[in-house]
Chain A
Amino acid sequence: MKRRLAVYPLALALPLMAACTTNDPSSDTSGTATPRSLAVTSTDDRCDVSAQQAPSGNLVFTVKNDGSKVTEFYLLGQDGLRIVGEVENIGPGLTRDLVVQAAAGTYFTACKPGMVGDGIRSSFTVTDSGEPVAASGKEAELVATANTQYAGYVKDQSDQLLAKTEQFVSDYKTGKDDAARALYADARVHWERIEPVAESFGDLDPRMDLREADLQAGERWTGWHRVEKDLWPPKSGYHPMSRTERSAVADQLLADTKELHQRTRTMTFTADQIGNGAKELLDEVATGKVTGEEEAWSHTDLWDFQANVDGARVAWEGLRPVLQQKDPDLDAKLEERFAALQKLLDAHREGTGFVLYTSLSTDQVRTLSDAVNALSEPLSQLTAAVVL
Chain B
Amino acid sequence: MPETPEQPDRKGALSRRRLLGVAGAGTAIGAAGFVGGLGASWAATGPTPDDASQPQSHPFHGEHQAGIVTAAQDRLHFAAFDLTSDSRDDLVALLKAWTAAAARMTAGEPVGERAQPYDAPPDDTGEALGLTASRLTLTFGFGPSLFRDAHGADRFGIADRQPKALRRLPHFPADNLVAARSDGDLCIQACADDPQVAVHAVRNLARIAFGTAAIRWAQLGFGRTSSTSQSQQTPRNLFGFKDGTANLKVEDTADIDRFVWVGDGDDPASDWMTAGSYLVARRISMTIETWDRTSLREQEGIVGRDRQHGAPLSGGTEFTEPDFSVTGRGGKPLIPVDSHVRLAHPSHNDGVQILRRGYNFTDGNDGLGRLDAGLFFIAYVRDPATQYIPMQNKLSRDDAMMEYLQHTGSALFAVPPGVPQGGYLGEALFT
Contact = CB atoms under 8 A, between A and B. Distances in A.
Interface stretch (A22-30, A44-52, A74-82, A244-252): A22-30
Nearest to A21: B117
Interface of A: 14, 21, 23-27, 29-31, 37, 58, 60, 87, 96-99, 272, 333, 337, 367, 370-371, 373-378, 380-381, 383-385, 387-388
A377 B211 contact: yes
B114 interface: yes
Nearest to A276: B119
A367 B118 CA distance: 32
Nearest to B212: A374
Contacts, number: 66
A60 B115 contact: yes
Contact of A388 (B113, B117, B207): B117
Query: Lowest 8 CB-CB distances: which A-B pairs, in order?
Result: A384-B120, A374-B211, A60-B115, A377-B210, A384-B119, A99-B117, A373-B210, A30-B113
A302 to B, nearest CB: 20
A60 B114 CA distance: 10
A212 B45 CA distance: 65
B5 interface: no
Nearest to A378: B211
Interface string B97-132: 000000000000000011111111100000000000
Q: Chain B's interface: helix, strand, loop or mixed, by majority?
A: loop
Nearest to B84: A370
B252 to A, nearest CB: 42
Given A370-B84, A374-B84, A337 B211 contact: yes
Contacts of A371: 84
In this complex, which of B84, B115, B118, B121 has the most chain A Cβ atoms within 10 angstroms of its Cβ?
Answer: B115
Nearest to A373: B210
B302 interface: no
Chain B residues touching A, range: 10 to 19
Contact of B118 (A97, A333, A377): A97
A29 B119 contact: no
Given A27-B113, A97-B117, A333-B211, 8 more contacts: A23-B116, A98-B118, A99-B115, A373-B214, A374-B211, A380-B121, A383-B119, A387-B119
29 contacts: A21-B117, A23-B116, A23-B120, A27-B113, A29-B114, A29-B115, A37-B115, A60-B115, A87-B118, A96-B118, A97-B116, A97-B117, A99-B115, A99-B116, A99-B117, A333-B211, A371-B84, A373-B210, A373-B211, A374-B84, A374-B210, A375-B211, A378-B211, A381-B121, A383-B119, A383-B120, A384-B117, A384-B121, A388-B117
Contacts of A378: 211
Contacts of B212: 374
A25 B115 contact: yes
Nearest to B206: A373
B119 A14 contact: yes
Nearest to B115: A60
B184 to A, nearest CB: 14
A377 B211 CA distance: 8
A141 B119 CA distance: 21
A14 B211 CA distance: 30
Contacts of B114: 24-27, 29-30
B214 A370 contact: yes
Contacts of A29: 114-115
Contacts of A383: 119-120
A25 B112 CA distance: 11
Nearest to A375: B211
Contacts of B121: 380-381, 384
B244 to A, nearest CB: 36
A377 B117 contact: no
Contacts of B113: 27, 30
A337 B115 CA distance: 26
B206 to A, nearest CB: 9
B97 to A, nearest CB: 12
Nearest to A32: B113
A388 B119 contact: yes
Contacts of A27: 113-114
B81 to A, nearest CB: 11
Interface in B203-218: 207, 210-212, 214
Nearest to A383: B119
B116 A384 contact: yes
Contact of A31 (B115, B117, B214): B115
Nearest to B211: A374
A24 B211 CA distance: 20
Given A30-B115, A99-B115, A370-B84, A381 B211 contact: no
B325 to A, nearest CB: 54
Contacts of B120: 23, 381, 383-385
B124 to A, nearest CB: 12
